[in-house]
A and B are shown apart, each in its own frame.
Chain A
Amino acid sequence: MTASEPAHARVAPAVAVAAVAAPVPATAGSGPAAAGRDRSADQVGPPGTLLSAVELRKRFGETTALDGASMHVDAGEIVALMGPSGSGKSTLLHCLAGIVRPDAGEIHYGGHRLSGMSEAGRSALRRGEFGFVFQFGQLVPELTCAENVALPLRLSGVRRRAAQARAVAALARLGVDDVARKRPGEVSGGQSQRVAVARALATEPRVIFADEPTGALDSLNGEQVMRLLTQAARETSAAVVLVTHDARVAAYSDREVVVRDGRTRTGPA
C-alpha cells in the first residue's frame, strides 16, 4: 500500500487480525452510538459477533421472502446459509450485506445499526468493508479481468496504478493472472468465477458475501473456487457468509444456518 491510499484501506486488516487474536465485543470502541450504552442490549449472539440479524422480515409483493430470520456471524467465521430453492437464503444475504433494506428487524455490523443506515452509508460500507461473489460472477463485460478486480479499489479511492498492481497480485494468488488482460467474455466459467473471487478479496474486506459461488461450475472447478476462497479468507481473517444448497460446498464452512420458509435454524457446526 502507498501513503496516498485512504486510511480505511489500512485499518481493515489490522482490525481483522485483532478480531482473530482476541475475540472482543463487536461493538467495542466502534462508534459513538455504542458509547455509554448497555452493550448487552446491542449484541446478538456471543461476544465476538461481527454481524448480526434479528427477526428480519421482507416481502416482495405478495411473496414473503423472510419471516423472522435471525443469525450472527463472528469475525473470521465461515457461515453457510443452506436451504431449498426459494427459502430466502439470497434475500437474507442481501439484507446482511446492506444491499436490501428489510421491512422489519435489526441488523448490526461492527456496533453500527446497519438496518437504520442511509443508502449512502450502506454504500460506503459495501465499498470498504464487504466483498461479493455471485453465482455467475457478474463481472463487468467491458472491463478486462484485471480492471474488474481493480474496480472496487478504484471506487474506494485507490489510484489507478496501485489498484491495477493489487488486482494483478490478487489474480496471481488465485492462479488466473494469465487472463488479466482478457475480457470476461473471453474466459471460461471457472476462470471467470476465480476472477470474481479475486475481485471480492481485492479490498481485503472484513466480510465476504458469496451467493452460490459454485452454482454455475462443474465439481472440479467448484472445489477449486471454494478452496481458494476459504483459504484467502482465513489468510486475511475475513468472515464469509456463503449461500449454497450444496452440502459439499457447505462442508467448507465452520457453521451452517438452515433457512426454510424465510426463517432460520442454526445447524451443526
Chain B
Amino acid sequence: MTIHSDPAMLPRTNPPGAGRRPRRRHPVRDAPAQLLLGFRLALAGGPTAWLRAAMTGLGVGLGVALLLAAASTPALLDARADRRDARSWLWATGDGQTSALRPADATVLIRTYSTTVRGKDIGGVVLRPDGAHPPIPPGLAAVPGPGQMAVSPALARLLDSRADGPRLATRLPYQRAATIGPQGLTGPNELFVYIGAPGGSSLRDTSGAMGRRIDHFGVPPRGQPMPALLTMLIVVLVVVLLLPVGAFTAGAVRFGAEARDRQLAALRLLGADLPMARRIAAGGALAGALAGCAVGAALFAAGRQLVERVTLFDVSMFAQDVRPDPTLTVVVLAAVPASAVLITLFSLRRVMIEPLGVVRRAARTRRRLWWRCVLPVVGVLLLLPLHAGYVPFSGREQAQLTVGVLATLVGVTVLLPWVVDAVVRRLGAGPASWQLAVRRLQLDSATTMRAVAAISVAVAGAIALQMVFSVAEDASTRPLDGRGDLARAMVGGTGGGDDVTALRGALARGQVGPRTWALAEGTLRSVDRLGADQAGEPLRIALVVADCPTLLRLAETATCQDGDLFLATPAEEQAGGGMRGPAPVVGPDQLASPETARLAAARTVLPGPGVRMRVEDPGAYAADGGEATAMPGWTMAAGAISVTLRTDTPAFVGILATPAAVPADVLAALRPDAYVDLDRRAPGSLDTLRDAVAMVDPLATVSTYDRVAVDPRFAQIRTSMYGGIVVMLGVVGASLLVTMVEQLRERRRVLAVLVAFGTRRRTLAASVLWQAALPMALGVALAIGVGVGLGAALLRMVGQSPAIDWANIGAVSATAAAVALATTAASLPALYRLMCADGLRME
C-alpha cells in the first residue's frame, strides 16, 4: 500500500474540474454576450425567422424613414425660405405707394403677377428696367426684355401641354426667352414667371400702386417673431404627425412576440434565469431595431430621389433640400434601438417564462379608468389658460403648449385599451366569425390596438386642426352676404380709366357671368386739408366713372344722361338719422371747420360744389418719379344728384359720374376695374373670366372675395398638414397590414385546425375583418371625442367659439376607416395562403 502525503499525488477519482464551484455570474460583464445571443437567435430558424426579422425591419424601417424625413424639415424649410428670400423684393422699399428710389441705370420697376389655370396657381413678377444694368433675379442670366418672359421648367411644360397650353398662351402672350434655374425657385415643380413689361404698359396693381422701384433682389422680410397662433398650429401639426409614427414603430418592434416567448421558454429549460432571458429577448429586439434603422436609412435615401416627382398641394421639393439635421439623425438612430429594448423589457413584465415550453401569461387584471383620464384632462387644462394671438409665445408658454397637446393626444393611446376592453368584454353572442373575433380581442387586443392607436391619434389631431383651420379661414374670408351660388370676382386693370370700354367689351364677349360692372375708379382727395391751420388730413372720397347702364345698376336713379354726376350713399345710411343719416355734403369754406374734421373722422363726408379735388392714385405720373402735385385735379361741379346705392352691388360711397362729367385727364388717371358675379356652380367660371380679361389686358389681376388672404406661412402649414396626414395614414395602414399578416402567421397552426374542422373561408375572412373593424370603430369614436375637445381648447386659445364641422369630421373618420378596411382586405390573400394543412405538419 502506498501512502501519499502530497494531495497532488492522490489518484483522481473525479473528472478534472469536478467539485469546483460554478463560475459566478456577473450581470454587467455577461450582458453583452447575452445580448449577442439574443441577436443571433432572432435570425436563427431559417426562412421563417428571416421573414419575421424582415417584417420587423420593414415596420421599424418605415418609422425610421418618416422620422428622418421629419428631421429634414428644418433644412427643407430653410432652403425654400432662402431661395424665396433671394428673389423677394417687397420689403425693398418703405410704404410701397411711392418709390423711394429715383429711376437709374441699376433700378427696375417691379410688381407681382399671378393667375390660376384649372386650380394651378402661377406666380411671378413683371419687370421694367429703368436702365441697362437692372438687378437680375436669381436663376436668370438677364432680365427679360419688353414682351419677353422667363419661365420655370414646370411652367414651360404647362405651356407646352395640350390641356392648358393654349389657354395659358392667351394669358402669357410673351416670347419665351429663358428658363429659370433652380436657385430661383422654391421647388422643382413651381409655376413661376418673370415678365418683361411690354412697351407702353403700366405696372399698376390692384392696390393702385404703380409697382415699386428696387435696385436689388434678396431683401428678406424684417425678422418677425412667429405669432403665437402659427406656433400653436405648428406644434399641433408636428405632434399629430410624429406621435402615430412613434406608436407604429413601437408596434413593429413587437412583431413575432409569441415565437420569441417560445424561444425563451426553451432557454429557460437549458438553465437561463429570468433576468438572463430578458436580456436575451432585448438582444433579439435590438436585431430588429438595427435592421430597421438600416432599412429606414435605405428607404429614406431612395425616397429622397423620388421627392422631386411629387407635388403635394402645389408644394414641391428639391432632393438636395431634404437633408436630415445631423443631431436629430443621431437622436433617431440611437432612440429607435434604445426604445426597442425598453419596449421589449416592458412587455415581458407580464410574461412568466417557464421551462418545459409552457408559457403562461399573468392573469388579466381589469384595466382601470381613473388614471387613464388624467393625461387628456391635464393636457386640456394646460392649454386652456393660454392665449394664441399675434404676440409670440414665451418659452414657458411654448413648452406648456407642447406638453398640453402631447398629453391630450397621448391620452388617446392610453384610453383606447380601456375603451376596447370595456366594450369587448360585454360582447359575445353572434355568428362564429364574430365570436372568434370578439374572443381574440378579449384575450389579447394589444397587437391590433397598437396600430389602431396610431390611426386614432392621427384622426384626433386632424379633427382638432381642421376645427382651427375652418374658423381661421372663415375669419379671413368676406362673407357671401347671402349671394348663394354667386361668387364675386374683381378685375384690376393696368391701363387708364379710358381703357374700361375695351374691358367692358371683353367681358361681354366672354359671357363671363350673370352680372358685371365695368368701371373706372380711383380715390380723390381734397387739395385743401381739413381743420384749422390746414393741419389735418385731406378729405378723401371714392370716384367711380361708368356709363349710364352701369350706373343705373349701381344706384337707385330713374334717369341718367352722359354728363350727370351723383353723390351716393348706402341705403341704410339714407334711412337712418343722426350720424347714420345721409352723408353730409360740405362746401369749400367748410373744410377748415373743426366740426368738419371731426365729422370726417367719424363717417363719410361728400364734397360739395367748388371743392377742389385731385386724383390720389399715382397714375402714370409716378412712374417717372413725378411729384404728387402733377396728379390731375378737378373742381366739383354743381348739380350733383344724391342717390342711394343699390344693395348687393359693389358698394361705393362717394361720387358716381358719367364720363362726360369728369375731365379727360382725371378719367385717364383712374383704374379700369370690373366686378363680376360668377356662377360658382359653373365649372371653370373663374378661368373663363381670366381668359376674357387677358384678351385686352394680360397683366390685369383677377381675384375673388372668396380667396383667403392669408399669411403665406399659414398656407404652408395647411399644405403640410394635409400632405403629412395623407402620408402618415398610408404608413400606419401599412403597419396595420404587416401587424395583421404577422398575427395570422403566428396563428398558422390554429388556422390549420380550423380548416381541418371545415371552417369556411368566408367565416375566417369575416373574423379577420371584425377583429380589425371593432377596435377601429372604437378608436375613431374616441378620437372624435378627444379631437373635438382638443380643437375646442385650441379655439379658446385664439378667442373663438368652438364650431364643429361634422362634414370634415366625417371625412377624416371615413378616410381612417377606409384605410383600416383596405389593409384588412389586403391581408386576406395571406389568410387564404395560410388556410392550408401545412400548419398541421410537425416537420
Interfacial residues, chain A to chain B (CB-CB below 8 A): 60, 86, 90, 94, 97, 99-100, 123-128, 130, 132, 134-135, 138, 140-144, 147, 151-152, 154-156, 160, 183, 185-186, 211
Given contacts A138-B753, A143-B436, contact A155 B763 (CB under 8 A): yes
Quote the shortest CB–CB distance from A86 to chain B (angstroms).
7
The 7 A-B pairs at the shortest CB distance, nearest first, are namely A127-B758, A126-B758, A142-B443, A142-B439, A138-B753, A99-B837, A123-B758
Check A155–B758 contact: CB distance below 8 A.
yes
Specify which of B443, B749, B763 is in contact with A138 (CB 8 Å cutoff).
Answer: B749
Q: How far is the CA of A94 from the CA of B432 in the complex (A)?
A: 25
- Which among A86, A143, A185 is the interface contact of B843 at CB below 8 angstroms? A86
Contact of A154 among B432, B752, B843 (CB under 8 A): B432
The reply to whether B757 and A141 form a contact with Cβ atoms under 8 Å apart is no
Enumerate B734-764 residues with CB–CB distance to A below 8 Å.
749-750, 752-760, 763
Of the candidates A94, A154, A183, the one having the most CB atoms from chain B within 10 angstroms of its own CB is: A154
Find out whether the CB atom of A132 lies under 8 angstroms from the CB atom of B361.
no
- B window 127-169: CB within 8 A of A: none
Q: Report chain B residues within 8 Å CB of A132.
A: 753, 756-757
Question: B440-473 interface mask toward A, CB cutoff 8 Å, 1 = contact, 0 = none?
Answer: 1011100000000000000000000000000000
Partner of A141, one of B443, B754, B756: B443
A60 to B750, CA, bound (A): 21
Q: Are A124 and B443 in contact (CB under 8 A)?
A: no
Q: Whole-angstrom distance between the alpha carbons of A46 and B646 in the complex?
A: 107
Would you call A183 and B750 a contact (CB within 8 A)? Answer: no
Query: Is A142 a contact partner of B840 (Cβ separation < 8 A)?
Result: no
In which size bucket is the chain B interface? 20 to 34
Bound complex: CA of A183 vs CA of B674, how far in Å?
A: 78
B842, CB-defined interface residue at 8 Å = yes
Q: Is B429 in contact with chain A by the CB < 8 A criterion?
A: yes
Q: Assess whether B183 is interfacial by the CB under 8 Å rule.
A: no
Q: Which B residues touch A186, using CB under 8 A?
A: 360
> 23 A-B contacts, Cβ less than 8 Å apart?
A60-B841, A86-B843, A90-B842, A97-B756, A99-B755, A99-B756, A99-B837, A99-B840, A100-B837, A123-B758, A123-B759, A124-B758, A130-B758, A132-B756, A134-B753, A138-B840, A140-B436, A140-B754, A143-B439, A154-B431, A155-B759, A156-B758, A211-B840
A147 — which chain B residues lie within 8 A by C-beta? Answer: 435, 439
With the chains together, A123 CA to B440 CA distance in Å?
24
Residues of A within 8 A of B842 (CB): 90, 135
Closest-CB distance, B744 to chain A (whole angstroms) = 14
Is there an interface contact between A140 and B750, defined as CB atoms closer than 8 Å? yes
For the complex, what is the distance from the CA of A100 to the CA of B760, rounded to whole Å?
Answer: 16
Q: Is the CB of A94 within 8 A of B439?
A: no
Which residues of chain B are near A140, meaning CB under 8 Å? Answer: 436, 439, 750, 753-754
- Taking the closest CB of chain A, its distance from the CB of B640, in whole angstroms, is 89
Closest chain B residue, CB of each to CB of A135: B842
Q: How far is the CA of A154 from the CA of B749 in the complex (A)?
A: 20
Q: Which of chain A's residues have a CB closer than 8 A to the CB of B837?
A: 94, 99-100
Report the minimal beta-carbon distance from A100 to chain B, rounded to whole angstroms. 5
Decide: A142 and B442 in contact? CB cutoff 8 A. yes
- Interface centre among B436, B754, B757, B763, by most chain A C-beta atoms within 10 angstroms, is B757
Please, what's the 1-or-0 string for B805-843, where 1 marks a CB less than 8 Å from any CB in chain A? 000000000000000000000000000000001001111
- Residue of B439, B758, B759 most packed against chain A (CB within 10 A): B758
Residues of B with C-beta under 8 A to A60? 841
Contacts of A135 in B (CB 8 A): 842
Question: Which chain B residues border A90 with CB–CB below 8 Å?
Answer: 840-842
Q: Is the beta-carbon distance between B763 and A141 smaller than 8 angstroms?
A: no
**B840 / chain A contacts, CB cutoff of 8 Å:** 90, 94, 99, 134, 138, 211
Q: Give which listed residue, A99, A128, A154, contacts B435 with CB less than 8 A.
A: A154
Query: Would you call A126 and B756 a contact (CB within 8 A)?
Result: yes
Q: Residues of A contacting B841 with CB < 8 Å?
A: 60, 90
CB distance from A262 to the nearest CB of B (A): 14
Query: 12 other contacts beyond A132-B756, A141-B443, A142-B440, with CB at 8 A cut-off?
Result: A90-B840, A132-B757, A138-B749, A138-B750, A142-B444, A143-B435, A147-B439, A152-B757, A154-B435, A155-B758, A160-B435, A185-B361
Of residues A124, A128, A151, which shows the largest number of chain B Cβ atoms within 10 Å of its Cβ? A151
Task: Give Cα A123 to B763, complex, Å.
Answer: 12
Contacting A at CB under 8 A, from B346-396, are 360-361
A138 to B841, alpha carbons, bound, how many Å?
A: 12
Q: Which B residues touch A130, using CB under 8 A?
A: 758
Q: How far is the CA of A123 from the CA of B760 in the complex (A)?
A: 7
- For A186, the closest partner residue in chain B by CB is B360
Q: Which residues of B contact A128 (CB under 8 A)?
A: 758
A228, B60: Cα distance in complex, Å? 50
Q: How far is the CA of A155 from the CA of B756 in the complex (A)?
A: 12
CA distance A134 to B443 in the complex (A): 23
* A123, A124, A128: residue with the most chain B Cβ atoms closer than 10 Å: A123
